[in-house]
Amino acid sequence: MFGRFLELAIGTADIVSSVQFYERLGFEPLTTGDAWPHRYGVLSDGRIHLGLHECALPSPAPCFVLPGLEAAQARLRAAGLQPEHTQFSPDALHHLRLRDPGANPLMLQEARTFSPSLADRAVPPGSGAGSLCGYFLHLSLPQPDFGRSRAFWEHGGFVALPEEDEPYAHLPLTSDQLDLAFHHRRSFDAPLLVFECADLDAATARLAERNIPLSADRPRGLDSTRSLMLEAPEGTLLLVVAAGGPA
């Protein structure tokens, strides 16, 4: 229903500051095209690809490529998925934006906007590759109603798994391209990019060496000695949890 996952689209008022932040974490830039009218760049850790858009954009928004998007609108609407924004101008990249039942955004677009070479490489857990944050686990979304949101994302091709308590209470959803999780708003009221790190102490030291400050925020009940939070210049939150054992 949604197509093939491309990136987590992130809006930023200052793309240079955002790019520099993710590069300091170890993300690598990818070659992009000129499909967007605004400045746009993509950085990857080999597993998750962050599309930085210098424009007002609800984010982070999972972005999928769905060829024949204009014709697919009828199928989306028949499934009860009503876009809040559409762009089908003949001289612009066709795209639309939806909201899930928890008001979290996602985007569908007609075609890729960056080279797939580095983006398609596999980074296995515990390989040591990737960024200082470690291995990307999932995008965790705040949801007031797990049942309605689960139905929405399963309609898009995701499969819900049993709820888990570690490293924080969440409902995981998996697909062959992107994993998601739901967390309760009472736990944390914002989306989180969640990573797992094999050596949290070493990562903390390396972050300090690169003058990357830690945030005091984290999901309710999460042990501060086994997790850390980073906030990107544009406001994206990255949660890093220790691998192996309860938080």
Residues 156, 231: one domain?
A: yes
Task: Report the alpha-carbon distance of residue 20 to residue 27 in Å, rounded.
Answer: 9
Among 97, 120, 143, the domain-final residue is 120
Whole-model pTM: value is: 0.92
Query: Would you say residue 156 lies in a domain?
Result: yes
Give domain status of residue 152, yes or no: yes
- On whether both 72 and 167 belong to a single domain, the answer is no
Is residue 130 one of the residues assigned to a domain? no
* Within a domain: 26: yes
Q: What's the token pair of residue 55?
A: 């424009």
Q: Are 101 and 145 in contact (CB under 8 A)?
A: yes
Number of domains forming the structure of the chain = 2
Residue 83 domain-assigned (yes or no): yes
Q: Is residue 223 part of a domain?
A: yes
Same domain, 92 and 171: no
From 95, 120, 145, give the residue that closes a domain.
120
Q: According to the model, what pLDDT value does residue 218 have?
A: 82
**128 assigned to some structural domain:** no
Q: Residue 235 belongs to what domain range? A: 135-242
Question: Could you report the per-residue pLDDT of 186-209, keeping only the tens digit for each?
Answer: 899 999 999 999 999 999 999 999
Judgement on whether residues 25 and 80 belong to the same structural domain of the protein: yes
Q: Tokens standing for 6?
A: 């491309």
- Residues 179 and 94 occupy one common structural domain: no
**pLDDT tens for the chain, residues 1 to 247:** 899 999 999 999 999 999 999 999 999 999 999 999 999 999 999 999 999 999 999 999 999 999 999 989 888 888 888 999 999 988 899 999 999 999 999 999 999 999 876 444 444 444 445 799 999 999 999 999 999 999 999 999 999 999 999 899 999 999 999 999 999 998 999 999 999 999 999 999 999 999 999 998 888 878 888 999 999 999 999 999 999 755 4
- Over the stretch 120-129, which tens digit does the pLDDT of each residue have? 444 444 444 5
Do 93 and 16 share a structural domain? Answer: yes
CATH number at residue 72: 3.10.180.10
Tell me, yes or no, whether 47 and 155 share the same domain.
no
Within this chain, do residues 106 and 159 fall inside the same structural domain, yes or no?
no
Question: Do 109 and 216 belong to one domain?
Answer: no
Q: Are residues 21 and 95 in the same domain?
A: yes
Is 115 found in the same domain as 147? no
Q: What pLDDT is recorded for position 123?
A: 47
Q: Which of 120, 151, 168 is the last residue in one of the domains? A: 120
Q: What is the pLDDT of residue 244?
A: 75
In a shared domain, residues 26 and 69: yes
Residue 34 lies in a domain: yes
